[in-house]
Structure 1
Amino acid sequence: MEALCRHFGLRHVSFFAGATFHNVFGDHAPLVEGATKKMLPEYLERWNRFDLFGSPPAMRQLVSSGVSSLSELQSRGNLPASAEAYVRHFLVSTWRMESATAIRLELPGGHTALVGIFDQRADKLGPPELATMRLLSRQLSAIARRLPPTRPKAALAGLSERQRQVVQLVADGLSNADIAVALSLAEDSVKKYVSRILAATGCQSRMELALLARSI
């Protein structure tokens, strides 16, 4: 983060990490510098579900090239309404951030990190800088994947004992019907448990939930 700020003359940056791509936006203890420190409470309370870089067009860019920027996304067509609202009302109207860029990094255990870069100047990062950041994404990911893995306990910490039992059985590959038999529950009750667990952890599917549980 410090090297990026020095080399590119950046002031407002953040580093979010999570067990899966979608968990990244719920990181409650990110590294933040500059205005992102002040932006964080409102972001976590209201906007993280609508983050520009969680939109399908941005996700495709991040997975394929490691970098996505607001300027590139806008030049290729309309953003989803939720992402457009995030840009207009949160980034621009509230914080005067005309430029936004994300760098995706691969972490140990299949985890993901996003470095967020923001600036009041729309032209802060041009094509040469974005090309350099794409190279950095590949190089830093190669280094980061070899780091000692951390335990993502926070996403599961708030679950009840019964919910944690359900999570473990989902991770073991059991169906709802099998979980119902194992825990002496009605299958409808298991469905409700799974839905509430997905909402609480920020996972988008049973697969993501299983990966999260297995990484601990």
Structure 2
Amino acid sequence: MPGDQTETEDRTTAADAQARDVAQLSDYARAHAEALEVLRGRPDMSDLVVRSMVPGWLATRYLWSMEASGAVMLLAGVLSWLANPGPWFLHAVDLLLLVLGGATMVRVWHEVRHRRAEAMRLREHGPDECDTLVDSGVVFHARPWWRRLLGLLFDLAVVALPVVVAVRAWTVGDPGQKLFSVLAVACVLLGSALMVHWARTGWQWRRAFLWEFDLDLPPVRQEWQVLLR
């Protein structure tokens, strides 16, 4: 029957498409695993950095927004402490902001150290195919969904809790506490925006470094092209 034949052809087409999808996923997983092996095989240059061989701007360029975010969050913690009318457990918000600001400044130090090590590797050994993939936006170490969820909840808490303190200050606080509470919330929002800016621009240091030292990214092997799709 014509109808049965059409239905059979549709099923065959769907099965072929599913088989292609499975094969593509298999190729992706294989290419991803091979690229990770290349990453793991890179030489560790952390203790071999020669300052004269890496530009000084690695410690500043495309990093100012993270530094500013840490400083602003520290300021937000101080302002929240000045604005906080209590009770005592609300001072956990002040501590949270201070810890977040301090952790961000420590992260700046780690980022500079990582950049210098990467710069030494690029100068000594040249860029590899994984550098090309990273420059194209490929992410090798994505966080699992539950960590992304926890990160989102933490970000929401960082923004929401100072607002709770501000509401409390405007309810029972004096004029000075009201002013400090508004400034604390503004600092938190500014610090969060600065971190978003860094997340979008911080990676560009690598491209600027390659351009300055005239280092060309190698082409990606054919088997890894699936990672770029």
Fold conserved between structures, TM > 0.5 = no
* Larger relative helix fraction: 2
Q: TM-score range by the shorter chain?
A: under 0.3
Larger radius of gyration: 2
Task: Give the TM-score, by structure 2 length.
Answer: 0.22
* Larger relative strand fraction: 1
